[in-house]
Amino acid sequence: MAATTTLTRTRTLDDEVTVEMVDGQPAVFWWHRFPYVVEGQPVLFYRRKPGRWWAGEVAVTRLDDEFWRVSAARDGANDEAQLYDLKFDGTRWSLVLAW
């Protein structure tokens, strides 16, 4: 019996996106002029910015970047939802990973 292999394509990106928030969570993000509708519950995690805040290397007002892992599908495309990682660094949203 032959083994089945599933190929997962992970793409690292740094594309600026526009994110629409509902109740403090991403509901829709716009990428390459298309809306992607978030399905299910997004997961929030934080990553510490590089640098020592106590030495003045990083602004004390924003020590961490927000990362949201969302399952989303392009609106109207009838595609299955895929995983995406959205990053908010305090000033801009970017799409950093597409699974």
pLDDT, tens digit, 9 for 90 and up, residues 17-47: 999 999 999 999 999 999 999 999 999 998 8
Mean pLDDT of 64-92: 91
- Every domain of the chain and the residues it spans: 19-98
Report d(CA 87, CA 97) in Å as an integer: 9
Provide, rounded to the nearest whole percent, the portion of the chain with pLDDT above 70: 87
Token digits of residue 15: 């594309």
Please list, in sequence order, all residues whose beta carbon lies within 8 angstroms of the beta carbon of residue 46, skipping any fewer than 6 positions away: 64, 65, 66, 67
pLDDT at 9: 61
| pLDDT exceeds cutoff 70 at 71 | yes
pLDDT band at 84 (very low <50, low <70, confident <90, very high): very high
